[in-house]
Amino acid sequence: MAITNSAVGTQILFFEDINIGDQLPEIVKNPDTRQLVMYAGASQDFVAIHYDLNVAKEAGHPTVIIHGALKSAWLGELVTSWMGVDGRLLELDVSYRAIDFPNSTATCVGKVLDARTEHGVGIVELEIGLRNSEGIISTPGRALVSLPIREIV
């Protein structure tokens, strides 16, 4: 059972609260071209295929495409939202397998693959992915997280 730290109003997830096979709460994204422009400005990633319709169409796409790094950020949000304030993101690896487009739902999904203790720390391996509106995982990945152990906290 996750608890809320009333001092800061944030969730603490303990290692003992998770089980192999647990599903992470999904995060649904509905990106539009405005978000892509905002992301381009924040990241300084001004590759034209992300904002110029003519460039995207010349590359054979129906519209501009979502930045790969933005999809990675969404998956990072999935993991860090789930792990709580005392969790630590140790590794985040993703693979871009398909192109995603704005104005189409993208859902961040994940599940617990493995859980073990190492040196008094709970280590959790997650399978994560970005599922497009057709149900295809376009951006699969994995994450490694450390969680506090209840007896030690």
The domain ranges of the chain are 3-147
Q: Where are the alpha helices (DSSP H) in 44-124?
A: 53-58, 68-83
Q: What is the pLDDT along the chain (153 residues), one digit of tens a residue?
A: 444 443 444 678 999 999 999 999 999 999 999 999 999 999 999 999 999 999 999 999 999 999 999 999 999 999 999 999 999 999 999 999 999 999 999 999 999 999 999 988 999 999 999 999 999 999 999 999 999 998 754
Which residues, including other chains, have CB under 8 Å from residue 101's CB and lie 6 or more apart?
61, 62, 63, 64, 65, 66
**Topology of domain 3-147, CATH:** Thiol Ester Dehydrase; Chain A (3.10.129)
Q: Would you call 128 helix, strand, or coil by DSSP?
A: strand
Query: How far is the CA of 17 from the CAs of 85, 91, 112, 140, in angstroms?
Result: 15, 21, 12, 25
